[in-house]
Structure 1
């Protein structure tokens, strides 16, 4: 399972804790050395050193690098004290995102500058250079809540009376969920460890950050529903408001019992217990819940989303009205177990999890029909048994690649057992709405894209969609997103592949091209300024567009560039390849600027030689070559592209070329005729001469004979 971030456990004092160096990005890599304080060239110009310590100005804020505020950390994203330079009142803090984890742009856009009761105020966000990283990353600025953290590290016991939880906790959090729901968003960071008192009197709570990490990444596993808990932390998915309501129920349980539920158990033990007994019964069997909280906790921890409490039931409970009791919703247990790798399983979801953990061993009981029989006889589940039989028949129709077909069978069997759970394939586990985040995590943490590519090429998500019941707008939306992924993965040329999938699935994924990755380019408008900086040290034979940049442009630019991507499929065609790259960059500059890109223009100018070959006229090529340096100085890629793509000039050049070719062909034909017909003409002349000589000699002979005859007579 991917690295899972935990809440901070240490005691937090009222002042900011001091911690000189922030963790390195990527969850474990060594941190880059900090800029040398004695060397002004070691870091950015806006790093200052004062009696208060080292600080850096980012936008309208000054962030203190040596004043850590760990109570506001969000998983691997660390928090620092900050001053709002535009306001004298209030205090702020900065959450520095881990650049190896994508942030949530929709949440940033929604919350920035908005005051919402129950949610900490997001004042602003900036992409900025962060000295401990030695690179750019996203920094989020929040208003510091006045009352401190609800659950502290020493006692873990919240200072909220259980009879006041309704007004202090539930009411403000319901307001947040309703506001998020109106935007079709889910918070996905609701937990007791992310609660703060909004005021010094501690009459209301507010939720902390929900945008610095992928959805659900920082959540303890116990806070995830039975459907999502078996996914890797990075692949838990965006979820819905129903997942937030479940997390609210677990939050109430933690506040009531004074510590995180099931904290003494490991992750696998928590999953096994929740699958075996159901979420509420798992908590109730191990923890002592306050009597007043049993009803809302039971309703919110219902494992069936259709039966789970919503706003109506919560409001009724707050008003003191009785609500419909939630029935026990643990899964149906089989009369006899299904054994797999020496362990007995009694429910289909627990068996699905067991198959995912024992991939190789799962194939045998599938092929010999043991699991199908267990479904029919042990559970009386003929629908699942029939689906499994159909999957087995498809295996028999498989071609030469039997191993791949067997892997697909196991993956489909898992989805048959647990159709609401994640897509699982040979160690890969992610919800369908979390596949993009899982791909991002794998690529940036050394695993690479192969696991994701295997899942997509084998069409496992399509089978997941086919197993869903009823109509859901969220599922319909997901299907639209995923319909092109298989085509993208199967294409090997620039602008496609896993890179295209990554930027299509993760809206806030920064471009991972090695040329500009350190610049943290999230928006298309940031691309060319980053390339302008990269052009300062670019090698003369390198191209300013690689696979990542081509895919980034294809997904972020509103214009259709499929024609340019098609031209890039054949790098050996230097003319079309170079023209396609110049065209893509010119369109980006035309749409998003900036107007002056001298470094990038000179970089492109050095690579324009193949594109100049499109002109046939030597004089025209020389004129274009003369114009290129002049236009490069102006930093306008559009003008450079128009120089080699002037349709009027190209038509004129083509027309002149056709005429020249025709004239040349005609002249060459005449020369050929003259050169090739010489011997024939000599032979003809000789023959005609011989004929003339013969005729002349005959006439002379006749005349002579006639003269002699006349002389004889007379």
Structure 2
């Protein structure tokens, strides 16, 4: 886990450094692209105008950098109400849609003001990304790496630190959100006198992504940084406790230990004991730190206990802060483990070697005898039995057994499957990270297809609205992953779970399309130079539309499952794009309409009448000039015309069939008709000769009488 966390952070850092190095001196042409314009600002410095702000791309503000995001000097073009700075998000890391919407434009005591945010072309990346604009706090950072910390009197902690941060946490919790970026080095003094602190950014990266592992609870620290998840207010309270400890001792607690050592220490001793064993806390801060760092969320201090402490009243005493230890250890790969949670982590880090003690029942016996936990032992026995029922894929069944065993031992922890480790509410951001950083979706797909999250849900005791909500989100993922056609697969999971994930279609990925209303304008720009034989909808765009559009497009997605059926395939694509334009505009898509028009030939084949097809083909260029995809779609999907065409076709088929039958009869019954004609002719001749004879005899008789 430690190596994985370091790798993720290094991936982000390396990516940003490479882009900065490659574009350290951007050209004026680059700067003029997209929404930006560059030119010499007053007093020197290159700048780009984004929305209502002018951002100086060569004037970085490292003191306001937020984890993986870089800060730059910015001016508000509409108001002169103090300094501002721009925070440029890494385009390969999704931002937090919910927090952006909540914090933008409001003043929240204890949080720096988020003035606005825009998607814009950033010269140093040579592509679009999200840019956030914050008001500069009145004072500097509370903790500056490598510099001496400004001392906060321990008796002023409640007023200066705890009260402002509690205000933010309560406001965020009231919206069913979490901050997840509370830490000492993300604090600023709100004023030059340092009378109150404010929290920095919490929007430019997934929840918990930039948190040092010491600030994460025992459950979430086992997940990779990108998969730590949104959590709850209890996770923010824990981070507040570690922040108080960090400010009290003057540095990040346990900072000299490696991440794996921090995990092992916290799991073995408990969070509070791990801190006090290595750091000397001020006496006045011990009580709140103990309460907030309680590893049992049911016993952890909440707002009521914090308010009681601030008021000088005695708060709820904290019960035992350590996990139950076994009388004897369970050994995995030569290391002894005495708690279930520590053993779960040990198994996840020794994946192959842990299979034997699981299969032979050693871990089950340890649960029964060492921890006297018969319930978890029963679950372990059932998991082993299910593995024995597995079919031909024994290796996959063994991996599932190991993953389920980890969940049984640590039911509130991360889902761990081989090298994958993410909380259930962090699956989406973990998938996003893997896809955008070269790992691909396979790890996520393995977890979902093998239905490991369902087992995690089954291990959660009692009723929890948060768990129920997560189950609703997860229930469709397995179906999506198993479908291989466009509009499904991991792409559908990605856009369904990560609301602020930009569309990763190679055609428009650099345009950073987050909202469905941005899609068609981006395709309009692509249509100017696209090849004639390519389609404007690929797997990513189909999944993006299916996840973001209000209308149900499942019928169109079904049609996309069979590309060999050119008629239905082309109609489905035109229909999806027309729906997007109808809902979100813009009204005129000149280039995209011509692109679609060139690809409409298969769709025209829906008409059987040659005259009608020719009429439709002649109409297509005229409608394409108007730039309206809806009209183009209606042209080939006119129900009245299609019914009329179908009726005429059926009538023509029937007439043809009758005519063909007559021809067949004529061609196949020739000899019989000749024989019949000869017979009829003979009968007619005999009748005629008889009549002539009678007439002759009658005439002779009459002549004889007369």
Q: How would you bin the TM-score normalised by the shorter chain?
A: over 0.9
**What does 1:142-161 correspond to in 2, within 5 Å?**
142-161=134-153
Q: Secondary structure at the match of 1:361?
A: coil
Question: Is 1:405 matched with 2:394?
Answer: no
**Deviation of 1:546 (Å):** 0.8
Taking a change above 3 Å as real, the CA distance of residues 38 and 366 of structure 1, as seen in their structure-2 partners, is closer
In the alignment, the residues of structure 2 paired with residue 6 and residue 424 of structure 1 have an alpha-carbon distance, to the nearest angstrom, of: 16
Kept in 2, the 8 Å contact 1:80–1:94? The answer is yes
Q: Secondary structure at the match of 1:326?
A: coil
User: Which residue number corresponds to residue 238 of structure 2?
Assistant: 246
Q: Secondary structure at the match of 2:674?
A: helix
C-alpha RMSD of the superposition: 2.4
Question: Is 1:47 matched with 2:42?
Answer: no
User: Which residue number corresponds to residue 515 of structure 1?
Assistant: 507
The counterpart of 2:27, out of the listed 37, 42, 45, is 37
The counterpart of 1:361, out of the listed 342, 353, 363, is 353
User: Which residue number corresponds to residue 452 of structure 2?
Assistant: 460
In the alignment, the residues of structure 2 paired with residue 458 and residue 310 of structure 1 have an alpha-carbon distance, to the nearest angstrom, of: 37
User: Which residue number corresponds to residue 203 of structure 1?
Assistant: 195
**Deviation of 1:6 (Å):** 11
Gaps of 5+ in 1: 9-21, 705-714
Question: Is 1:602 matched with 2:594?
Answer: yes
In the alignment, the residues of structure 1 paired with residue 443 and residue 17 of structure 2 have an alpha-carbon distance, to the nearest angstrom, of: 20
Kept in 2, the 8 Å contact 1:7–1:193? The answer is no
User: Which residue number corresponds to residue 437 of structure 2?
Assistant: 445
In the alignment, the residues of structure 1 paired with residue 17 and residue 554 of structure 2 have an alpha-carbon distance, to the nearest angstrom, of: 37
Q: Secondary structure at the match of 1:293?
A: helix
In the alignment, the residues of structure 1 paired with residue 283 and residue 595 of structure 2 have an alpha-carbon distance, to the nearest angstrom, of: 71
**What does 1:170-185 correspond to in 2, within 5 Å?**
170-185=162-177
**Deviation of 1:33 (Å):** 3.6
User: Which residue number corresponds to residue 701 of structure 2?
Assistant: none
Taking a change above 3 Å as real, the CA distance of residues 493 and 182 of structure 1, as seen in their structure-2 partners, is same
User: Which residue number corresponds to residue 542 of structure 2?
Assistant: 550
Normalising by structure 1, report the TM-score.
Answer: 0.93
**Deviation of 1:604 (Å):** 0.5
Q: Secondary structure at the match of 2:597?
A: helix
Question: Is 1:232 matched with 2:224?
Answer: yes
**Deviation of 1:320 (Å):** 0.8
**Deviation of 1:703 (Å):** 13
Question: Is 1:491 matched with 2:486?
Answer: no
The counterpart of 2:644, out of the listed 652, 656, 662, is 652
Q: Secondary structure at the match of 1:229?
A: helix
**Deviation of 1:685 (Å):** 2.8
User: Which residue number corresponds to residue 571 of structure 1?
Assistant: 563
User: Which residue number corresponds to residue 77 of structure 1?
Assistant: 69
**Deviation of 1:398 (Å):** 1.4
**Deviation of 1:36 (Å):** 5.0
User: Which residue number corresponds to residue 267 of structure 1?
Assistant: 259
**Deviation of 1:72 (Å):** 1.6
Deviates most, 71-80 or 638-647: 71-80
**Deviation of 1:450 (Å):** 0.5
Kept in 1, the 8 Å contact 2:31–2:38? The answer is no
Normalising by structure 2, report the TM-score.
Answer: 0.94
Taking a change above 3 Å as real, the CA distance of residues 115 and 40 of structure 1, as seen in their structure-2 partners, is closer
The counterpart of 1:673, out of the listed 651, 665, 668, is 665
| Deviation digits for residues 87-116 of structure 1 (CA, Å, limit 9, x no counterpart) | 123010011111110000110000000001
Taking a change above 3 Å as real, the CA distance of residues 703 and 617 of structure 1, as seen in their structure-2 partners, is closer
Taking a change above 3 Å as real, the CA distance of residues 395 and 29 of structure 1, as seen in their structure-2 partners, is farther
User: Which residue number corresponds to residue 628 of structure 1?
Assistant: 620
Q: Secondary structure at the match of 1:536?
A: coil
In the alignment, the residues of structure 2 paired with residue 175 and residue 344 of structure 1 have an alpha-carbon distance, to the nearest angstrom, of: 44
**Deviation of 1:43 (Å):** 4.6
In the alignment, the residues of structure 1 paired with residue 70 and residue 61 of structure 2 have an alpha-carbon distance, to the nearest angstrom, of: 8
In the alignment, the residues of structure 1 paired with residue 7 and residue 88 of structure 2 have an alpha-carbon distance, to the nearest angstrom, of: 15
The counterpart of 2:288, out of the listed 285, 296, 299, is 296
Q: Secondary structure at the match of 1:537?
A: coil
Question: Is 1:525 matched with 2:517?
Answer: yes
| Deviation digits for residues 611-639 of structure 1 (CA, Å, limit 9, x no counterpart) | 10111111111111111111111100000
In the alignment, the residues of structure 2 paired with residue 211 and residue 604 of structure 1 have an alpha-carbon distance, to the nearest angstrom, of: 38
| Deviation digits for residues 535-591 of structure 1 (CA, Å, limit 9, x no counterpart) | 112111111111111111111111111111111111111111111111111111001
Gaps of 5+ in 2: 697-706
Count of aligned pairs: 694
Kept in 1, the 8 Å contact 2:26–2:124? The answer is no
In the alignment, the residues of structure 1 paired with residue 189 and residue 8 of structure 2 have an alpha-carbon distance, to the nearest angstrom, of: 20
Kept in 2, the 8 Å contact 1:35–1:43? The answer is no
Q: Secondary structure at the match of 1:359?
A: coil
Question: Is 1:374 matched with 2:378?
Answer: no
**What does 1:94-243 correspond to in 2, within 5 Å?**
94-243=86-235
Kept in 2, the 8 Å contact 1:118–1:172? The answer is yes
Taking a change above 3 Å as real, the CA distance of residues 524 and 63 of structure 1, as seen in their structure-2 partners, is same
In the alignment, the residues of structure 2 paired with residue 23 and residue 330 of structure 1 have an alpha-carbon distance, to the nearest angstrom, of: 36
| Deviation digits for residues 250-279 of structure 1 (CA, Å, limit 9, x no counterpart) | 000000001110000000000000000000
In the alignment, the residues of structure 1 paired with residue 319 and residue 8 of structure 2 have an alpha-carbon distance, to the nearest angstrom, of: 32
Kept in 1, the 8 Å contact 2:28–2:38? The answer is no
The counterpart of 2:583, out of the listed 591, 594, 600, is 591
Kept in 2, the 8 Å contact 1:25–1:31? The answer is no
| Deviation digits for residues 149-168 of structure 1 (CA, Å, limit 9, x no counterpart) | 11122335342111111100
The counterpart of 1:323, out of the listed 303, 315, 318, is 315
Kept in 2, the 8 Å contact 1:531–1:544? The answer is yes
User: Which residue number corresponds to residue 559 of structure 1?
Assistant: 551
The counterpart of 2:57, out of the listed 65, 68, 90, is 65
Taking a change above 3 Å as real, the CA distance of residues 698 and 595 of structure 1, as seen in their structure-2 partners, is closer
In the alignment, the residues of structure 2 paired with residue 138 and residue 354 of structure 1 have an alpha-carbon distance, to the nearest angstrom, of: 39
Taking a change above 3 Å as real, the CA distance of residues 596 and 253 of structure 1, as seen in their structure-2 partners, is same
Q: Secondary structure at the match of 1:127?
A: strand
**Deviation of 1:334 (Å):** 1.4
In the alignment, the residues of structure 2 paired with residue 682 and residue 27 of structure 1 have an alpha-carbon distance, to the nearest angstrom, of: 97
In the alignment, the residues of structure 2 paired with residue 445 and residue 28 of structure 1 have an alpha-carbon distance, to the nearest angstrom, of: 14
User: Which residue number corresponds to residue 639 of structure 1?
Assistant: 631
Kept in 1, the 8 Å contact 2:19–2:124? The answer is no
Kept in 2, the 8 Å contact 1:103–1:211? The answer is yes
Kept in 1, the 8 Å contact 2:72–2:86? The answer is yes
| Deviation digits for residues 122-148 of structure 1 (CA, Å, limit 9, x no counterpart) | 000000001111111000000000111
In the alignment, the residues of structure 1 paired with residue 22 and residue 500 of structure 2 have an alpha-carbon distance, to the nearest angstrom, of: 24
In the alignment, the residues of structure 1 paired with residue 588 and residue 683 of structure 2 have an alpha-carbon distance, to the nearest angstrom, of: 84
In the alignment, the residues of structure 2 paired with residue 43 and residue 621 of structure 1 have an alpha-carbon distance, to the nearest angstrom, of: 43
Taking a change above 3 Å as real, the CA distance of residues 674 and 355 of structure 1, as seen in their structure-2 partners, is same
